[in-house]
A and B are shown apart, each in its own frame.
Chain A
Amino acid sequence: MHERTAGLAASLRSVFRREHKLVKAVDGVTFSIARGERVGFLGPNGAGKTTTLKMLTGLLHPTSGTIDVAGHVPQRREAAFLDQIMLVMGQKQQLIWDLPPADTFELNRAVYRVPRDRYDATVNELTELLELGDLVKKPTRELSLGERMKCELVAALIHQPKVLFLDEPTIGLDVSTQVKVRDFIRSYNERYGATLMLTSHYMDDVAALCPRVIVIDKGRLTFDGSLDELVRNVRPEKRLTLHFRGDVGDDALSPLGQIIERSEGQVVLQVAQSELAAAVSRALATLDVVDLTVEAAPLEEVMSELFTRGRAARAREAGREPDEAE
Chain B
Amino acid sequence: MSQFQLQFDPRSYRRTIAGKDVIIHCHHYNARVQRTLESAVAVDGRAIIRGAAETVFAEQIAQALRDADDSEPKLGVAEQLYAQLGYGRLVLTPTPQGRVHATSSHYVEGWLAGFGARDEGVCTFTEGYIQAAIWAATGELVHARERECMARGDAQCVFEIDGGRTQAIAANTKQPVAFEPRTTGEYLRSQHVDEPAIIQALVDMPIHGNAEGLIPAFSVYLANTPADYYNLICIRFVEQMSAHGRDKAAKRMLIADGETCAMNTFRGIMNSVEWEGLVAPMIHEPRDNIFALVAISNGLGWGNWHITAHPSAETIEFESLNGYEALGYREYRGRASDPTCFMLTGVAAGLLELVYGVGTIADRLGTCGTRETACISRGDATCGFAVERSQ
**A, B bound:** no
B residues with a Cβ closer than 8 A to A are none
